């Protein structure tokens, strides 16, 4: 693909970085648009989004070190690759949720209100981010012979992220981008907040199913558990699915009939 959008001398504009910037800006724009209907000011929503971005970036890097630390820390080239990598999405999600638990009480915003408000923008931003993955070559799939397979040929992609060249692979980045885009549309179109946290729970559970399935087609190193039976992200996806059911069960009981918070 095109890991670099522009190169002028030694300066290169990375496609992945541009995609992340577009994803964040569009997500914040949508978050601000949704904020008034949730009783939150657009300015407060944007301020919290900055904290989510920072904590999400840190969380994504931390989980990357947890699952693939030796690969990145055993050499200088590996460390440079770590700096270039965007990290693991689930680490970013965990970091962002942790930040919400700290930031929102200070602003007197309900956690579930903001989580419901932010779920569709998160899915949309993630879809755009995966397009950046496709362009950069990271998060690649297993070898396959299907008509829709993609083949990476740019040496910069192999040098930056280690993707194999000239081998037809599952376009797992596109699988997840399309899946997140469909999830975004469904969350917006079918949104009925009968209890606090409903939209967030649907997002958490649906993405867990999406990610857990796509992991079977991934070919990049990303950690494993239970003797390699499942990947680290699949284990987290199982926890996310359980959390989604738990949120629904508990919050439905607590919410007064017809009320949301």
What does the pLDDT look like over 158-190, one tens digit per residue?
Answer: 888 889 999 999 999 999 999 999 999 999 999
Which structure tokens are listed for 234? 């699949």
Whole-number percent of the chain with pLDDT over 70: 92
* Listed residue (86, 94, 72) closest to 129, CA to CA: 86
Considering only the C-alpha atoms of the chain, give the largest distance between any 2 of them, rounded to a whole number of Å. Answer: 63
Residue 128: the pLDDT is 96
Confidence category of residue 133, pLDDT binned at 50, 70, 90: very high
Domain ranges of the chain: 4-254
Output the DSSP codes for 220-235: S---EETTTTEEHHHH
Please state, as a whole number, how many other Cβ atoms lie within 10 Å of the Cβ of residue 193. Answer: 18
Q: What is the DSSP letter of 37?
A: G
pLDDT, tens digit (0-9, with 9 covering 90-100), for 49-98: 999 988 988 888 888 787 776 666 777 776 666 666 667 777 888 888 89
Residue 180: the pLDDT is 97
Average pLDDT of the residues of the chain = 88
CB contact at 8 A, 235 and 225: yes
Place of tokens 């397009």: 131
Which pTM value belongs to this model?
A: 0.87
Q: What is the mean pLDDT of residues 185-206?
A: 93
Q: What is the DSSP letter of 38?
A: G
């Amino acid at each position: 693909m095109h890991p670099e959008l522009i190169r002028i001398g030694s300066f290169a504009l990375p496609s992945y970085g541009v995609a992340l910037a577009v994803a964040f800006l569009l997500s914040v724009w949508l978050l601000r648009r949704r904020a008034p209907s949730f009783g939150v000011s657009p300015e407060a929503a944007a301020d919290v989004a900055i904290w989510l971005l920072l904590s999400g970036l840190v969380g994504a890097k931390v989980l990357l070190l947890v699952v693939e630390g030796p690969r990145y820390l055993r050499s200088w080239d590996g460390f440079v690759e770590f700096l270039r990598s965007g990290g693991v999405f689930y680490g970013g999600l965990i970091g962002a949720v942790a930040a919400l638990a700290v930031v929102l009480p200070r602003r007197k915003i309900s956690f579930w209100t903001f989580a419901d408000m932010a779920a569709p923008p998160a899915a949309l931003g993630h879809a755009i981010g995966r397009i950046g993955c496709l362009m950069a070559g990271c998060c690649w799939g297993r070898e396959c012979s299907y008509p829709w397979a993609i083949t990476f040929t740019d040496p910069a992609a192999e040098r930056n992220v280690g993707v194999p060249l000239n081998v037809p692979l599952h376009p797992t980045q596109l699988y997840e981008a399309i899946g997140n885009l469909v999830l975004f549309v469904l969350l917006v179109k079918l949104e009925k907040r009968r209890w606090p946290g409903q939209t967030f729970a649907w997002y958490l559970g649906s993405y867990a199913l999406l990610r857990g399935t796509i992991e079977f087609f991934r070919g990049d190193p990303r950690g494993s558990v239970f003797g390699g039976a499942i990947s680290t992200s699949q284990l987290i996806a199982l926890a996310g699915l359980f959390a989604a059911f738990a949120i629904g069960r508990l919050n439905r009981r607590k919410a007064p009939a017809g009320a949301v918070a």
